[in-house]
């Protein structure tokens, strides 16, 4: 059950139970500090007004790094690559991956939430359905959420307006591959049904995560992300590594050179920040001073 949450949130949290999203990175021969913030794709943009020190951090930095450069995802070529990656290249179809009963369930829910008949797109990968349906279902259950207004997009657009450099820690192709090829088709089908057979619970968890994020309650976010049921819906060995921890390590290796060159504002999914394997701790181990912005 929690695998899909990680995929949607991709996404945040802290080293402690402090209510804190924005962190200052200094020391270790940095001439000027950089900052890192945890974002959440389902939080309203208005959260920015309650983050202490945010405007100062934006003013003091000269470039913005996100998980990826969002404008790169909006080119015709990128859209074509994504559409291709969302489809199976073999003879495998949704009908062969799901039982007749599960396919009927999936098709019914897709018609309701995505207005899509799965019999017309038999080669659509289960992960493509999963990554869209839970967000659409969530949006239908809350009010005043505008998916086009997100912190990640806001930070990058603001930087562009001010003539600052915008870059990504990963490429578009890397993230497309992670989302649509990160697990086997059989496992994707299994996780899809974990979501569809537990829609109310899935939405409830996302509501709790979003509420915790809006309160900057990082301890609660971490606790929710680590819940396990002991069934096939729990992450398999290596799945959390691929989605979170391996990426944390790769980013922690890239950031020193990035920050040394130019004071940088880093905005990544909040679940990448906390814990022993989180970016904040990895940077501390490299000798940086990492402290909450107050």
Q: What pLDDT, on the 0 to 100 scale, is given for residue 143?
A: 64
Q: Which of 53-62, 128-137, 203-212 has the highest mean pLDDT?
A: 53-62
Q: What pLDDT, on the 0 to 100 scale, is given for residue 225?
A: 81
The residue count of the chain comes to: 294
Q: What pLDDT, on the 0 to 100 scale, is given for residue 144?
A: 66
Does residue 223 or residue 40 have the better pLDDT?
A: 40
Confidence label for 19 from pLDDT (cuts 50, 70 and 90): low
Q: What pLDDT, on the 0 to 100 scale, is given for residue 146?
A: 76
Q: What is the pLDDT averaged over residues 179-194? A: 96
C-beta of residue 34 within 8 angstroms of C-beta of residue 25: yes
Does residue 4 or residue 102 have the better pLDDT?
A: 102
What letter does residue 198 receive in the DSSP assignment? T
This prediction has a pTM of 0.89
Tell me the pLDDT tens digit for each residue of 241-287: 999 999 999 999 999 999 999 999 999 999 899 888 999 999 999 99
Question: Residue 163 class from Cβ within 10 Å (0-12 exposed, 13-18 middle, 19+ buried)?
Answer: exposed
Lowest-pLDDT range, 8-12, 71-75, 157-161?
8-12
Confidence label for 223 from pLDDT (cuts 50, 70 and 90): confident
Tell me the pLDDT tens digit for each residue of 150-176: 899 999 999 999 999 999 999 999 999
Q: What pLDDT, on the 0 to 100 scale, is given for residue 294?
A: 85
C-beta of residue 28 within 8 angstroms of C-beta of residue 286: yes
Tally of domains in the chain? 1
Q: Which of 52-56, 204-208, 218-222, 230-234 has the highest mean pLDDT?
A: 52-56
Q: What pLDDT, on the 0 to 100 scale, is given for residue 16?
A: 40
SS3 72: helix
Residues spanned by the domain of 258: 2-292
By C-alpha distance, which of 191, 213, 237, 239 is closest to 41? 213
C-beta of residue 113 within 8 angstroms of C-beta of residue 133: yes
Q: What is the pLDDT averaged over residues 231-246? A: 91
How far is 6 from 271, CA to CA, in rounded Å?
A: 8
Q: What pLDDT, on the 0 to 100 scale, is given for residue 4?
A: 44
pLDDT at 3 over 50: no
The DSSP secondary structure of 208-243, one letter per residue, reads: HHHHHHHTTBHHHHHHHHT---SSTTSPPTTHHIII
Share of the chain above pLDDT 70, in %: 93
């Amino acid at each position: 059950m929690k695998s899909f949450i990680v995929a949607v949130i991709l996404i945040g949290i802290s080293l402690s139970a402090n209510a804190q999203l924005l962190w200052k990175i200094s020391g270790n021969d940095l001439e000027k500090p950089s900052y890192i913030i945890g974002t959440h794709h389902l939080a309203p943009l208005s959260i920015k007004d309650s983050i202490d020190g945010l405007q100062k951090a934006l003013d003091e930095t000269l470039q913005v790094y996100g998980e990826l450069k969002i404008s790169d995802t909006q080119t015709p070529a990128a859209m074509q690559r994504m559409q291709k990656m969302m489809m199976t290249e073999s003879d495998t179809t949704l009908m062969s991956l799901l039982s007749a009963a599960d396919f009927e369930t999936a098709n019914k829910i897709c018609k309701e939430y995505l207005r899509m008949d799965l019999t017309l797109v038999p080669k659509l990968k289960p992960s493509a359905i999963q990554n869209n349906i839970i967000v659409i279902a969530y949006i239908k259950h809350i009010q005043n959420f505008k998916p086009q207004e997100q912190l990640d997009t806001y930070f990058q657009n603001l930087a562009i307006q001010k003539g600052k450099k915008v870059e990504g820690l990963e490429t578009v192709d890397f993230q497309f591959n992670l989302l649509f090829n990160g697990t086997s088709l059989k496992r994707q089908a299994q996780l899809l049904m974990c979501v569809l057979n537990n829609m109310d619970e899935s939405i409830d968890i996302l509501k709790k995560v979003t509420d915790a994020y809006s309160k900057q309650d990082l301890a609660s976010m971490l606790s929710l992300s680590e819940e396990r049921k002991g069934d096939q819906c729990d992450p398999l060995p290596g799945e959390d590594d691929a989605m979170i921890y391996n990426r944390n390590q790769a980013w922690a290796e890239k950031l020193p050179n990035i920050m040394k060159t130019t004071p940088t504002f880093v905005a990544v999914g909040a679940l990448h920040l906390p814990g022993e394997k989180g970016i904040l701790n990895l940077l501390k181990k490299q000798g940086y001073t990492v402290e909450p912005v107050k």
